[in-house]
Amino acid sequence: MNQFEKQLQSWTPRRPSPKIARRLFSTAQRAARRSHRAQTWSWLTPLAACALTILVAVQPESPAASRMAGRTNGAFFATFMLDAAGSSSPATYSLSQLDENLEWNVWPHASHHVTEMRREEAPSHLNVLNLIPTNR
């Protein structure tokens, strides 16, 4: 190639507008990114599942878990049994109203004798009521 041809070659042809490349390849780039993400998840998900399974399988062998396993489970079950929220729910309450065993614990009339005490009859050490001025 002679000097003249080299000079011609040194001129850079005008580039097309950048928006053409964006229009052409933006979808392809998005798809490639999506595909890359999908590939990552395809191995990450089974790996995470395996790790979780191993963790669950190995957990009772840990010292803290062993201590927990050695204890009685009374407190644990008591927590379940004392389900305050459950017992105060309307359904549970209406059921217990119908329970006939509940009647054994009902105390319909007070059996304790209560005497009405008049102010004059009150013992002197309890006569504080006299200190309060009344209309009588």
Q: What residues make contact with other proteins under the rule CB under 8 A?
A: 4-5, 8-9, 11-17, 20-21, 23-25, 27-29, 31-32, 35
Structure tokens at 112: 């304790």
- Rank residues 20 and 54 by Cβ distance to other proteins and give the closer one: 20
CB of 40 to other proteins, least distance (A): 16
Q: Are 130 and 119 in contact (CB under 8 A)?
A: yes
Closest Cα partner for 120 from 108, 109, 130, 132? 130
Show the tokens assigned to 104.
């054994």
- How far is CA 75 from each of CA 20, 62, 80, 81, 130, rounded to the nearest angstrom? 71, 21, 9, 10, 55
Judged by beta carbon, residue 16 or residue 74, the one nearer other proteins is: 16
CB of residue 5 vs other proteins: minimum separation in angstroms? 6
Q: Which is nearest to 97 in space by CA: 105, 80, 111?
A: 105
Q: How far is the CB of 41 from other proteins (least distance, A)?
A: 16
Give 29 or 62: the residue with its C-beta nearer to other proteins. Answer: 29
Query: Closest approach of Cβ 9 to other proteins, in Å?
Result: 5
From residue 33, alpha-carbon distances to 21, 41, 44 in Å are 17, 12, 16
Q: Which is nearer to other proteins, 1 or 56 (CB)?
A: 1
Nearest distance, CB of residue 19 and other proteins, angstroms: 9
Nearest to other proteins of 41, 93 (CB atom): 41
